[in-house]
Structure 1
Amino acid sequence: MIEKGLFIEALNRDIASIRDLFGSKYDLQIAEALEYYNTIDPEKLKPRTNNENEKEKNLVVDYLNQ
Protein backbone atom coordinates (compact mmCIF):
# COMPACT_ATOMS: atom_id res chain seq x y z
CA MET A 1 0.00 0.00 0.00
CA ILE A 2 2.75 2.43 0.92
CA GLU A 3 4.51 1.84 -2.41
CA LYS A 4 1.29 2.94 -4.12
CA GLY A 5 1.12 6.18 -2.14
CA LEU A 6 -1.60 4.93 0.20
CA PHE A 7 0.27 5.78 3.39
CA ILE A 8 -2.69 6.96 5.48
CA GLU A 9 -4.72 3.93 4.39
CA ALA A 10 -1.90 1.63 5.51
CA LEU A 11 -1.58 3.50 8.79
CA ASN A 12 -5.33 3.24 9.41
CA ARG A 13 -5.25 -0.49 8.64
CA ASP A 14 -2.40 -0.97 11.12
CA ILE A 15 -4.22 1.06 13.77
CA ALA A 16 -7.34 -1.07 13.30
CA SER A 17 -5.24 -4.23 13.67
CA ILE A 18 -3.62 -2.94 16.86
CA ARG A 19 -7.01 -2.04 18.32
CA ASP A 20 -8.43 -5.45 17.35
CA LEU A 21 -5.57 -7.16 19.17
CA PHE A 22 -5.11 -4.86 22.17
CA GLY A 23 -8.25 -2.75 22.52
CA SER A 24 -7.45 0.73 23.83
CA LYS A 25 -4.14 -0.25 25.47
CA TYR A 26 -2.05 1.64 22.88
CA ASP A 27 -4.36 4.60 22.20
CA LEU A 28 -1.82 7.09 23.57
CA GLN A 29 0.89 5.78 21.24
CA ILE A 30 -1.54 5.74 18.32
CA ALA A 31 -2.42 9.39 19.03
CA GLU A 32 1.29 10.25 19.10
CA ALA A 33 1.82 8.48 15.78
CA LEU A 34 -1.08 10.39 14.22
CA GLU A 35 0.26 13.69 15.58
CA TYR A 36 3.62 12.91 14.00
CA TYR A 37 1.96 11.91 10.72
CA ASN A 38 0.33 15.35 10.58
CA THR A 39 3.78 16.99 10.71
CA ILE A 40 5.16 15.12 7.68
CA ASP A 41 5.48 17.06 4.44
CA PRO A 42 2.96 15.46 2.03
CA GLU A 43 5.61 15.49 -0.71
CA LYS A 44 7.65 13.01 1.35
CA LEU A 45 4.71 10.59 1.39
CA LYS A 46 4.47 10.35 -2.39
CA PRO A 47 5.68 7.08 -3.87
CA ARG A 48 9.15 7.11 -5.34
CA THR A 49 9.92 6.27 -8.91
CA ASN A 50 12.22 3.36 -9.71
CA ASN A 51 14.83 5.92 -10.75
CA GLU A 52 14.70 7.60 -7.32
CA ASN A 53 15.02 4.22 -5.60
CA GLU A 54 18.04 3.33 -7.73
CA LYS A 55 19.71 6.66 -6.96
CA GLU A 56 19.27 6.06 -3.23
CA LYS A 57 20.61 2.50 -3.50
CA ASN A 58 23.66 3.80 -5.38
CA LEU A 59 24.31 6.40 -2.67
CA VAL A 60 24.23 3.69 -0.01
CA VAL A 61 26.53 1.42 -2.02
CA ASP A 62 28.95 4.28 -2.66
CA TYR A 63 28.97 5.13 1.05
CA LEU A 64 29.59 1.53 2.06
CA ASN A 65 32.43 1.20 -0.44
CA GLN A 66 34.33 4.19 0.97
Structure 2
Amino acid sequence: MRCIICDMNFAFEKGKGISFRNKPICDECLLNLTIVFLDKYKEGIKRYLKQEIKLEHYNNI
Protein backbone atom coordinates (compact mmCIF):
# COMPACT_ATOMS: atom_id res chain seq x y z
CA MET A 1 0.00 0.00 0.00
CA ARG A 2 0.98 3.64 -0.35
CA CYS A 3 1.30 5.96 2.63
CA ILE A 4 -1.04 8.97 2.36
CA ILE A 5 1.66 11.27 3.79
CA CYS A 6 4.95 10.30 2.13
CA ASP A 7 3.46 8.38 -0.85
CA MET A 8 5.90 5.47 -0.41
CA ASN A 9 4.95 1.81 -0.71
CA PHE A 10 5.11 -0.23 2.49
CA ALA A 11 4.07 -3.69 3.68
CA PHE A 12 0.78 -2.79 5.38
CA GLU A 13 -0.31 -6.43 5.37
CA LYS A 14 2.70 -7.40 7.51
CA GLY A 15 1.80 -5.01 10.32
CA LYS A 16 3.83 -2.07 9.07
CA GLY A 17 1.83 1.09 9.71
CA ILE A 18 -1.78 1.80 10.60
CA SER A 19 -5.06 2.54 8.89
CA PHE A 20 -6.38 6.01 9.75
CA ARG A 21 -9.92 6.60 8.49
CA ASN A 22 -9.36 3.74 6.04
CA LYS A 23 -6.19 5.37 4.68
CA PRO A 24 -2.75 3.81 5.31
CA ILE A 25 0.05 5.61 7.18
CA CYS A 26 3.52 4.04 7.36
CA ASP A 27 5.42 3.58 10.63
CA GLU A 28 7.94 6.35 9.86
CA CYS A 29 5.24 8.95 9.23
CA LEU A 30 3.32 7.74 12.28
CA LEU A 31 6.43 8.24 14.42
CA ASN A 32 6.95 11.74 13.01
CA LEU A 33 3.31 12.66 13.70
CA THR A 34 3.63 11.34 17.24
CA ILE A 35 6.75 13.43 17.90
CA VAL A 36 5.08 16.57 16.51
CA PHE A 37 1.98 15.93 18.65
CA LEU A 38 4.05 15.37 21.81
CA ASP A 39 6.11 18.51 21.18
CA LYS A 40 2.98 20.59 20.65
CA TYR A 41 1.17 19.35 23.75
CA LYS A 42 4.19 18.62 25.97
CA GLU A 43 3.31 21.02 28.80
CA GLY A 44 -0.31 19.90 28.96
CA ILE A 45 0.74 16.25 28.98
CA LYS A 46 3.21 16.93 31.81
CA ARG A 47 0.51 18.64 33.90
CA TYR A 48 -1.91 15.78 33.27
CA LEU A 49 0.66 13.13 34.26
CA LYS A 50 1.58 15.03 37.43
CA GLN A 51 -2.11 15.17 38.39
CA GLU A 52 -2.47 11.44 37.76
CA ILE A 53 0.57 10.70 39.94
CA LYS A 54 -0.84 12.87 42.76
CA LEU A 55 -4.24 11.17 42.51
CA GLU A 56 -2.62 7.74 42.55
CA HIS A 57 -0.56 8.72 45.60
CA TYR A 58 -3.61 9.92 47.56
CA ASN A 59 -5.68 6.90 46.55
CA ASN A 60 -3.02 4.60 48.00
CA ILE A 61 -3.09 6.28 51.43
> In which range does the TM-score fall when normalised by the shorter chain?
0.3 to 0.5
Normalising by structure 1, what TM-score?
Answer: 0.30
**Structure of larger gyration radius:** 2
Normalising by structure 2, what TM-score?
Answer: 0.32
